[in-house]
Structure formats: structure tokens, C-alpha cells
Amino acid sequence: MTPVGSQRDVYRPPLQKPAKPKVDKRPRPAEAEEFVDDAVLRAVHFDGKVLTGAVEVVEMENSLLSNTRFVGASLRQSVLSDTDFDTVDFANFRALDVALLKCRVGTSRLTGSHWQSSHFTDVTVESGRADLAQFRGSKFRRVIFQDVHLQQADFQGAELAHVTFEGCNLTGAQFANCKMTKVEFTNCTLLDVGGTAGLKGATVRGPGATELALSLARDAGILIEM
């Protein structure tokens, strides 16, 4: 007999997975000087470039960035779609109202980057670092973080729907005032997580569930003595 209140037989629709980017198979080589205000970049390849400056209103699609660094760079009110970022250094990069649509970010560094009020739709982030990254007030839909270092990342006030964190280190991450729909944490490290009330609606699997319980107890004012 199934106990009253059991979730065993409740149907749970699967998470929607992100669509893959459609990168041009033969993008033309691009120069750093093309990364300027109001640029429209289609089917280009920034390879080994250093991109700098405060840039606004860029449209980039069907493109590839590899072994490229953003140095002292910022971006506002721009759309990057169907683009593959492979081994890209976004450390301390600042983005405001930027949309990533159908993008892959692989083996890249986002340490200390700021993504304020930005939109991530159909995005996969793989095998990189995003510790101390700030995503405050941003919106995530159909996003996967896989094997990413997210220690002390700040998701405060973010909206997440159909988002998966898999094998990520989220020690000290902040989730205060988040809104979550169909969010899963699988085999993640969830020590000393802040704003645990913002995780309402999420599913946690693996050892991170026990780690998260300690943070939940702390936020509830419960003292646990071992």
C-alpha cells in the first residue's frame, strides 16, 4: 500500500534539454578590431584573439570563438546566438542585458565574470570554471552546467527553468530569491550554500543532498551537534 503523500507514482515530465548551436562549418577568420559597437558578425571565427573595450549592441551568430580572451572587456544589450565558445577566457568580463541563445561554452574560464540581467536560453556550459561569477537577476531556460567549478557563484534573484547542474562544485554558492522550475542538481557539491529558500522546487540527487541539508538547517536556525 502506497503511503499517503508519497511521490512514488506522481508523473514528472522530463527536463527540456538545450538545443545545440548551429555553427557555420566554414566560418571566415575574424580580427579583434571587428569586435566593436553595433557590429553584426555572422559565421566568423575569432581564433587566438584578445578582445577588449566596452562594446554595445553586438549581434553574433553561427560563429566560433577558440583560444580567445576577453581582457578588460564589457558587453551591453547584445545577442550571441548559435555560437561555440571553446577555451575562451571570460575572467572578470562584464555583461549587462546580454542574451546567449543556443550556445556552447566549453573548457572556458568565467571566474569573476558578471552577467547582470542577462538571458541564457539553450546553453550548455561544460568543464570550465565559473567560481565567483555573478548571475544576479539573469534568466536561464534549458541550460546545462556540467562539471563546472561554481564555488561562490551568485545566482541571487535569478530565474531558472529546465536547468541541470551535473557534477558541479557549488560550495558557497548563493541562491537567495531565486525562482526555480524543473531544476536538478545531480552529484554536485553543495556545501555552505546560501539562500536555500531560493532552491524551492529543485531536485537534488547524490551526496549533495546531505550537504545541502546542513545549509537548510543553518538557515532555519537549527543547531546540529555531531
> What structural domains and CATH numbers belong to the chain?
28-219 (2.160.20.80)
Per-residue burial over 109-136, b if 16 or more Cβ lie within 10 Å, else e, is bbbbbbbeebbbbbbbbbebbbbbbbbb
Report pLDDT digits (tens) over 177-196. 999 999 999 999 999 999 99
State the pLDDT at residue 115.
98
pTM: 0.91
Displacement of CA 3 from its chain's centroid (Å) = 38
Give, in degrees to the nearest 5, the angle at Cα 188 between 84 and 117. 50
pLDDT digits (tens, 9 = 90+) for 8-59: 556 677 889 999 999 999 999 999 999 999 999 999 999 999 999 999 999 9
pLDDT per residue over 204-224, tens digit each? 999 899 889 888 877 877 776
- Helix, strand, coil shares of the chain, percent, nearest 5, are 10, 45, 45
pLDDT tier at 96, thresholds 50, 70, 90: very high
User: What is the pLDDT confidence band of residue 6, given thresholds at 50, 70 and 90?
Assistant: very low
Residue 94 has pLDDT above 50, yes or no: yes
Q: Could you tell me the maximum CA-CA distance found in the chain, to the nearest angstrom?
A: 69
